[in-house]
Structures are given as C-alpha cells and as structure tokens.
Amino acid sequence: MTSETQMSADEVLPLGQGTAARSGVPGQVPAGATWKIRFGSAMIPLAHAAGQNVVTVLGLRFMTDSLAISAGAAGLMFAIMKIYDGFADPAVGAWSDRAQSRWGRRLPFLFAGGLAMPLGLMLLFGAPDLHSVLLAQAFVLVALMIHATGYTLLTIPGFAMLVESSTDPKERTRLMAWRTYGNAVGTLLGSTVPAWILGALGPSRQGHLVVALAVSVVVFGATLVAVWLLRDAPRTKPRASDLAERAHPLRSLGRQIVLAWRNVPFRILAIAHVFLLFGTAIGSAALAYFTRTVLQLPDSALGTYFAMATAAMLVGMTPWVWLSNRIGKRESYMSALALFAIIQLSWLLAGTGESMTLVSARGLLSGFAGGGMILCAYSLLSDAVRYDFITSGERREGSFAGFTTLFDKLSSAAALAAMGGFLSVMGYVSSSSGQAAVQSDSARLAIMLCESAIPAISMLAAIVAMFFYKLDPAVLERLEADRQDGES
C-alpha cells in the first residue's frame, strides 16, 4: 500500500474506504458512481443558488421598502458584506485544500454551509422591529455576513470537487451542465417561488419570513442530499508540503494569489467574470424595483419572469453543450454574453402595464443566455484550473475557486454599492410599509438604467476581455496526455 504522504499529487481516494484505498486518477470513476457524482454536483449549486437568489432579488428591496433603510445605506451594507465574504473565499479555498477528515477535504465545509446559509436567511427576512434604523442596519449586516459565509462554504469546496473529479475536459463540461441544471432549479426556487409567495401573501414582513423559511428548507435539504451522494466520490489528497503550510496560512495564501494571477487564462477569465457579475448583480437587484415601480406589475409577474428564465436555462443546456463542442467554449461564452446584453437593452422599450407576453419572452431569452454564460464560464474556469495543475504539479483547486468568487463578490459589491448610491442620488424614497413610495421621474430613470443599459455595457466589456483568452482545448488535452505518459 502507498502511504498518504507518498501518493502523487493527482491520486485520489474514494471516500469512506480509508486512506490506504486507491481509485487511480480523477476521471476513473466506477460506472455505478457516475450518476451520484453528477446528481450530487447538481445539488450543491441548487442549494446555494436558492439561498443566494432570494437575497439578490428581494434583499435590497426588502431593506429599502420594509425596513426603511435608505438605498445608499443598503447598497453600502451589501458592499461591506461582499467584500468581507470575497476575502474569506481564498482563505476557505486554501483551508479546504489542506483540510483532513474522515469525510475528505470538502464535505465538512459543505455541511457547515448548509447550516449557516438558512440561518442568515431567517435572520435577514425575520428582522424584528428594533424601533431604530441604526440597530436595524447592524442586525441586517450580521445576518448578511452569516448568510454570505454559508454561501462561501458551499460554493468553494463544491467547485473544487468538480475539478478533482475528472481529467477529461468534456466530462467537466458535462458536469458543468449538471451544475447549471442545479443552478437553474435553485434559481427557480430562490426567485420565482418567493415572488409568487409574496404575490399571494403580500410583501409584508410576515410574507418575507415565510419566504425565508421555505427557501431555508430547500437549502438545507439539498445540502444533505449532496453530502450523502458525494460521500464516495473520488478525491485528491494534499501533499506533505501542502500540509506543512498550515503553520503559515497567510504566507501560503499570499503565495497562491501571486501564482494564480500568473496563470494568464485564469486571469483573463477572472476579469471577464468581474464585468459579467457587475452587470448581472445590478440587473437582478434592479428587476424587483423595475417590475414594481416602472412596469407597475405585481410581484407575481416577477415570479413568472424567473419561471420562464429557469425553464429556458434548463432546456438550453443541451444546445449550449452542443454549441460549445462545435464552435468552442470561448466563442459560445461570447455569444451568450452578447445575447444577454441585447435582452437587457430591450427593457428600454418597456413601459407601464407591459404585456406579460413580452415580459415572459424576455425571461425565456434571458434564461437561455444566462445558462450559456454559466455553463461556458465555469467550464472554461475548470480548464484554467486544470492547466495550473498540469504546469505546476500543485493541487490548488480550492484556492482557485476562492479566487474566482473573490473577484465575483468584489464586482457584485461594487455593483450593489453603485446601484444603491445611484438610486439615492437620483432621489429614491425608502419606506417601512412593504410598499414602494411614490418615486420621482429621476428615480424611475435610475431604475430603468440599472435594468437595461448598465448590464448591457458590462456584458460588452466581458466580451472584449474574452478576445484575449488563448487557452486552446487541444493544447490542454495534449499537455494532459504528456503528463499522464510521464507518470506511466
């Protein structure tokens, strides 16, 4: 038998069979375990997408229209929370890279995230009446940080497990399709269902608490299913040198940040991700304001939009996988970005009493484009992370996952802070009734721009960045084959 410290950097262990058991390299998965890995991989994004989308779509509006927090202060609070969470991401990634337990490196983090995220949701949407805006802001900030910590604990190890599971770029694309399916269902449960609940119960504090409880059950349940299904998934083991770095975590993290930035394909993808997340964060947060204030439609219309988007995202996975294999992942990614930009710009043509047919059509096209963006972005990221291992021999999947979400969250923080500040400057009036106050023309214009032109410009910037991405899949496959020949 080979001891843990003697194992090569690319060897894996099936969970639950002891440290001496071996299953070869990632990708050599027993046939009976394939469905568990794929379905388990889908449950992770289902959990965090449900928990994240309900906050992204309704959180800012709940703070301004139910807790009487100003738009500027609410945006700043989201920014503070995301900056905290963003810098925690690489630390959690590096921690999960070095962690050891009878369940492997990643599963304990997933379980902890499945507990923390629901707690944050119930605290946020169940915020008591403290009779002080300042105390309400402090309470909500703590709730947001607990929620964000849970999100990090779910997303970072979850993405790292995907990279570990296979050496085949096409299999990682298939796994990304499963993750995108899970993300789509989670988006449905975290955006459509809450909007429909509020449409039925009204946008009161009690209605928002019911929403939080319902989504919390989904998050925790999906996490339990994922942990159970992935308990026997292949896993890589940290090397002795990686474990030794525990004594110097800050030095290790700084070193890995520098090395990750030197990975040119990863760097370009990260830059594109910043623009993508900036645009989608503003568009998602603005939509709840837009349907209520500009279109003057009930929250049920918001739910219908997200239902259409989710349906299109699910149906669109097969054509996006086919297209990425036909014309390439980069080109498919850029096509999805362009389509999404066009759809967002079309909101400039919408007005009061907009037909639900047109709203639903936008939802369908937006969901189709969004599915392509998610699938291609993370499939390309998995290639860049695999490229790092092939060229360096070091296992840093968790760290790269952390860096990815660091850039994502910093861009989201900037987006929400900018949106909150923009709305405040343009005269948006907050409320404590759960209903929007009467808004000025300038405030309505600000909401319109946040839903249309700003996201479209962000997508265009991401497309420009992707022109510099040069990692050829054929080159990656050749490097992979050379590595495996060298080990044999």
Q: Give the pLDDT score at 481.
A: 65
pLDDT digits (tens, 9 = 90+) for 26-44: 444 444 457 777 788 788 8
Total Cβ atoms within 10 A of residue 298: 16
Q: Give the pLDDT score at 171.
A: 65
Q: Are 362 and 395 in contact (CB under 8 A)?
A: no
The secondary structure of the chain, three-state, reads CCCHHHCCCCCEEECCCCCCCCCCCCCCCCHHHHHHHHHHHHHHHHHHHHHHHHHHHHHHHHHHHCCCCCHHHHHHHHHHHHHHHHHHHHHHHHHHHHCCCCCCCCHHHHHHHHHHHHHHHHHHHCCCCCCCHHHHHHHHHHHHHHHHHHHHHHHHHHHHHHHHCCCCHHHHHHHHHHHHHHHHHHHHHHHHHHHHHHHHHCCCHHHHHHHHHHHHHHHHHHHHHHHHHHHHCEEECCCHHHHHHHHCHHHHHHHHHHHHHCCHHHHHHHHHHHHHHHHHHHHHHHHHHHHHHHCCCCHHHHHHHHHHHHHHHHHHHHHHHHHHHHHCHHHHHHHHHHHHHHHHHHHHHCCCCCCHHHHHHHHHHHHHHHHHHHHHHHHHHHHHHHHHHHHHCCCCHHHHHHHHHHHHHHHHHHHHHHHHHHHHHCCCCCCCCCCCCCCCHHHHHHHHHHHCHHHHHHHHHHHHHHCCCCCCHHHHHHHHHHHHHHHC
For residues 441-464, b (16+ Cβ closer than 10 Å) or e, as one string? eebbebbbbbbbebbbbbbebbbe
Q: In degrees rounded to 5, what are phi and psi of residue 295?
A: -80, -20
Q: Give the pLDDT score at 350.
A: 92
Tokens of 107: 């599963």
Q: In degrees rounded to 5, what are phi and psi of residue 236?
A: -90, 160
| Domain positions in the chain | 34-230+253-482
Look up tokens 């890279």; give the residue: 97
Pick the CATH number of 34-230+253-482 from 3.55.50.30, 1.10.1060.10, 3.50.50.60, 1.20.1250.20: 1.20.1250.20
Q: How far apart are CA 10 and CA 235, in angstroms?
A: 9
Q: Give the pLDDT score at 262.
A: 75
Q: Are 180 and 28 in contact (CB under 8 A)?
A: no
pLDDT digits (tens, 9 = 90+) for 468-478: 988 777 666 67
> Which residue stretches of the chain have pLDDT < 70?
1-33, 86, 89-90, 93-105, 159-173, 233-257, 259-260, 392-399, 401-402, 405, 433-436, 474-477, 479-488
Q: Give the pLDDT score at 235.
A: 59
